[in-house]
Amino acid sequence: MSTRFKICRLLAIVLPVLFLFTQVQADDSDSQEPLRLALVVGNGSYTHVAPLDNPVNDAELMAASLEDVGFEVMLVTDATRDTLIKAISDFGRRLREADDDATGLFYYAGHGVQSFGANFLLPVDINLMDAADLSLVGVPAQALLRQMFSANNKTNIVILDACRDNPFVSIPDLNENGLAEMKAPRGTFLAYSTGPGEVALDGSEDNSPFTGSLARRMSTPGVPIEALFKNVRRDVLDATNGIQTPWDTSSMTVNFQFVPAVMPSPAEIQERQLWETVKLSKDPIQVMLYLRANPESRFSGDARKLLQDLVSAEVKETVSTDVAPTPAKEPVSVDPSDAERDLIEEARRAGTEDAYKIYLDAFPDGHFAELARLELQTIQQNEPRTDPISEPPVAVAVEPKPSTQDGAGALPNVVAFNKPLGAGGPELATRSISDLISASPQFPPIEGLPEAAWKDKTCASCHQWEQANLCTQAKTYVDDKTRALSKDHPFGGVFKQLLQVWAEGGCQ
């Protein structure tokens, strides 16, 4: 084999591997988040002017807060002039090396003064005797803005908590308070702890009012930077009794949030839609089925509370509609509705199979028989209970609503257990009640319920139906006091009306 042939074979193997490797590197590069770079400076230990208590604390708090929201932080404390100039230079270089979608942020806490309309940040070793020397011993804020603007990135943020007081008030031409207003270069947001020419408070606690509020609010998702600093302004006004008013100006061209809003996933949206549908139904059966299908949902607590309210409302309505006046001077007896209510409440409190059986034996066609059978089945199958236990609140009676399902047509005068029903859609009219007991629902019991919870399941999955038990249930539709007849059914609304006719004929 010739050397040339060997080289060609080697290249045929190596080149595709190198290509794939470079593609992976390119994909990794594309997936990286845009750079967020912050230079945070806190100067408090001044040598020749009055020291400040909180700037270093403020800088450390701000550095930690910025790291929490995804910034790479360069932290400098008690910086001399040389140290501060070098930090600003390195900061500007890092921004220039980054892509244009990088975000630069500069935060400064410490002494700051203005002279002839220009602002200066004061290093801790400043020793000033004459105003003319300020540009030689201080650091012009404009130099910081120039470094950031030179990077041509889209977003820059400058935050100055730098007007604590004027340490050079005795020097001629340096007796102006606070900082002067600066023009924000394109794409820059400028924030000051107080308004132009005003003095900011250092703070009586570990942090200044301005920085403390900003650090607390920075991690709130979905808040635009303009709204964030408006909230900070309100906080500082409250904390200082209106003495200090933060101020900002902007020339930003993009929307910026320290923490973007968290968008719900498609699964979370579907979960909420399902719960909203169940909640609007105000049907205890649907709520119970929802809880059985979604026992660990983030809406399970709300569903249990709603089920408690709905069941309690049924209890209250039963008492109010069934109680007859007691004749005067007659011995007072226990009303049947009171006895049923006491028994179902006792079963719910006990939560045992025997307790629900006792209720069903006493009231097989009671107002809460269907709920009791569902809960009994849950207990027998060793599933988590869905019926919450608490004192029932007073509920307002709800007027029955007419059925809205189509296709009922004319109801027959007689319905037999083993003969075609003869009304409703084709799937219903051609089948008998006995057929439907072992059939699967045509529609989900709850709109949006996962198919796994009802598809290809028989009605016995939720009901202990045979002819006798079904007759007991159908009789509740003859004297419809629970509004059950007006509610939709997985076989269509007309099925309940047919059961009513069947019960009126003696369930033959």
For residue 486, pLDDT beyond 60: no
Residue 199 makes CB contacts below 8 A (sequence gap 6+) with 163, 164, 165, 166, 177, 178
Residue 99 is predicted with a pLDDT of 92
For residue 506, pLDDT beyond 70: yes
Q: Are 57 and 203 in contact (CB under 8 A)?
A: no
Q: How many CB atoms lie within 10 A of CB 117?
A: 9
Residue 105 is predicted with a pLDDT of 98
Name 247's bridge partners: 192
The interaxial angle of helices 300-322 and 266-281, nearest 10 deg, is: 10
315 confidence band (pLDDT: 50, 70, 90): low
Q: What is the pTM of this model?
A: 0.53
Mean pLDDT of 420-440: 75
Q: Which ranges constitute the DSSP H helices of 69-197?
A: 81-97, 134-137, 141-149
Q: What is the dihedral sign for C-alpha 138, 143, 145, 148?
A: negative
Residue 390 is predicted with a pLDDT of 42
283 confidence band (pLDDT: 50, 70, 90): confident
Residue 479 is predicted with a pLDDT of 64
Average pLDDT over the chain, rounded to whole?
79
For residue 29, pLDDT beyond 70: no
For residue 332, pLDDT beyond 50: no
Window from 124-138, 265-279, 460-474 with minimum mean pLDDT: 460-474
Q: Are 257 and 224 in contact (CB under 8 A)?
A: yes
95 confidence band (pLDDT: 50, 70, 90): very high
CA distance 431 to 434: 8
What is the percentage of the chain residues whose pLDDT exceeds 90? 34
Q: Are 18 and 83 in contact (CB under 8 A)?
A: no
Residue 188 is predicted with a pLDDT of 96
pLDDT tens, residue by residue, 385-413:
666 654 443 333 434 434 434 444 577 88
Mean pLDDT of 287-302: 84
Residue 449 is predicted with a pLDDT of 56
